[in-house]
Structure 1
Amino acid sequence: GGRALYIEYYTKILKADVMPFLYAPDGPEALGWFKKPITSVAEFTKLRFRISSGLPSDVLKDMGGIPMNLGANEVIPAAERGVIDGIEFINPASDIKVGLHDIFKYYSIQGLHQAIDIADVIINGKKWRELTPDLQTIVEVSMTASLFDAMLYFIHENAKALKILTTEKGVTMFDAPPDYAPAWINSAKRVLAKFEEKDPFFKKVLDSQREFANLVVPFTRETAKLSTLISGAATAK
């Protein structure tokens, strides 16, 4: 159902004659960079915090926070001038390139605001229809393969960057506050409910996601326990 909705969004909602494909997934995004560790939502919501516009910003505002919507080119100057007290950008591999560690030394990667970043490859609809079925299949298989390739690539790149940040750049990692996840989830539910009420297609997509989650989460929840045990054994000395 997800791909059908994805195509429907472009062709019916945006009314674009295209054939879209998902490409290069990366994530989750980090909670962010700070001048000192945050220990509670009360501390977090007092900060002037740079966060992505749209749903992430709406949720933080619902929590009582102070979202600052700044473009990528504005982030470093704003941090240097003290206009912002903290920032979420992307994740270790991207953040290290921007140089956020030169300004902020405390970092948490346990963010909930954007579980995945994902790009699109969008093909002109007329050109797509002109392709023979075998060529269309080649494109479809190639794009599917790229998803798995990108997931493995970004896990490796983020892991390498995080190691450099913590061993060479003086960055200290810290866990998200215990009350962060419950507060974020509660606010997210309120924000999503508002969009559901006014946008039928938004509701259609969200209902599809809920149906999928109700099916797969019971399974993935159990397998995640095993993953934690295995990772602990793999890194134990």
Structure 2
Amino acid sequence: GGGKELYDRLWGEMGVNVKGFMLQPVGPEALGWFPEPIASMDDFRKLRFRAPPGMVGAAYNEIGVAAVAMGGGDILPALEKGTIDAAEWCCPKPDSVFGFQKVLKHYYLQGLHQVVVNADLYVNGDVYEGLSAIEKKALEVAANASLSKSLSYRIYENGKALKDLTANHGVILEDTPADYFTEYMAAAKKLLKAAAEDNEFFAEVWQSQQDFADIVVPFWAGAQTSNAGLGKAHADTLE
């Protein structure tokens, strides 16, 4: 869909001499951990919420959520001290390692703020150009293998962690309120439009993503609806 070419152009736009490879995707990330169930965005807006900085935090602020940015290691102490009321970090496995289940028991998986985050491998541009064609291809193949293998690995590890959280730590899995999706998407779109007006390359990337979505979403969303139905039917049989 043109994303790889735009990704390669990014480094020139930033003025850095590197060759980048995407690998090890993380996500979709959970909405987060809460002290009590939230029935609507009005409940959410009452809480001080740890969220990532940048556009994500700005989107939350846009819809009236008091978003607070802090590093991962600071989240649990902040929750214990009452500096923040609720928080997100990542997914069941990393979240359980940080110990959020010790202080918060209501966990919401469905979030929009970080559907996917990719790790990257950066190679000095001059070094990369000095590699043979076979060596360059080896890096490309390894990165692609990392992408595909990480997807299945993280699904399994997060599944095991979620099962442990709900079975052994009193964590209650909740459904995200419907108005979260409409409000967050509207706020994000507003911020994306503003960023596109300020940066020509950003606008080009965003347009490319929209063009790609126009092609793949009708198919993939329909297919995933069936998969989600099958998954729920199985989940309903579990204790």
Q: Identify whether the pair has TM-score above 0.5, normalized to the shorter chain.
A: yes
1:182, 1:98 → 2: CA distance? Answer: 30
Partner amino acid, structure 2, of 1:27: G
1:214, 1:6 → 2: CA distance? Answer: 20
Deviations 1:192-219 (A, max 9, x none): 1111111111111100000000010111
Partner amino acid, structure 2, of 1:157: E
Aligned-residue RMSD, C-alpha: 1.2
Contact 1:53 1:69 in 2 (8 A): yes
Partner in structure 2 of residue 122 of structure 1: 122
Partner in structure 2 of residue 5 of structure 1: 6
Partner in structure 2 of residue 59 of structure 1: 59
Contact 2:18 2:123 in 1 (8 A): yes
Provide the secondary structure at the position in 2 that maps to 1:122: strand
Contact 1:5 1:205 in 2 (8 A): yes
Partner in structure 1 of residue 217 of structure 2: 217
Query: Which runs of structure 2 are paired with 1:173-192 in the superposition (5 Å)?
Result: 173-192=173-192
Contact 2:48 2:86 in 1 (8 A): yes
Query: Which runs of structure 2 are paired with 1:164-175 in the superposition (5 Å)?
Result: 164-175=164-175
Partner in structure 2 of residue 29 of structure 1: 29
Instruction: Tell whether 2:149 aligns with 1:149.
Output: yes
Single out whichever of 194-203 and 162-171 deviates more from structure 2. Answer: 194-203
Partner in structure 1 of residue 45 of structure 2: 45
Provide the secondary structure at the position in 1 that maps to 2:178: coil
1:45, 1:235 → 2: CA distance? Answer: 31
Partner amino acid, structure 2, of 1:208: S
Contact 2:73 2:98 in 1 (8 A): no
Deviation at 1:232, TM superposition (A): 4.1
Partner in structure 1 of residue 111 of structure 2: 111
Deviation at 1:75, TM superposition (A): 0.9
Contact 2:25 2:118 in 1 (8 A): yes
Give the TM-score taking structure 1 as reference length: 0.96
Single out whichever of 106-115 and 220-229 deviates more from structure 2. Answer: 220-229
Deviations 1:62-115 (A, max 9, x none): 101101111112111111110101001111010000000001111101111000
Deviation at 1:140, TM superposition (A): 0.7
2:219, 2:143 → 1: CA distance? Answer: 27
1:228, 1:66 → 2: CA distance? Answer: 32
Partner amino acid, structure 1, of 2:9: E
- Give the share of equivalent positions with the same residue, in percent: 36
Contact 2:49 2:85 in 1 (8 A): yes
Partner in structure 1 of residue 95 of structure 2: 95
Deviation at 1:226, TM superposition (A): 2.2
Partner amino acid, structure 2, of 1:63: I
Gaps of 5+ in 1: none
2:233, 2:51 → 1: CA distance? Answer: 36
Deviations 1:174-193 (A, max 9, x none): 10012111111111111111
Partner amino acid, structure 2, of 1:8: R
Partner in structure 2 of residue 193 of structure 1: 193
Deviation at 1:235, TM superposition (A): 4.6
Partner in structure 1 of residue 18 of structure 2: 18
Deviations 1:3-41 (A, max 9, x none): 11111111x121111110001001011101010011111
1:233, 1:193 → 2: CA distance? Answer: 39
2:19, 2:44 → 1: CA distance? Answer: 41
Contact 1:62 1:191 in 2 (8 A): no
Contact 1:38 1:44 in 2 (8 A): yes
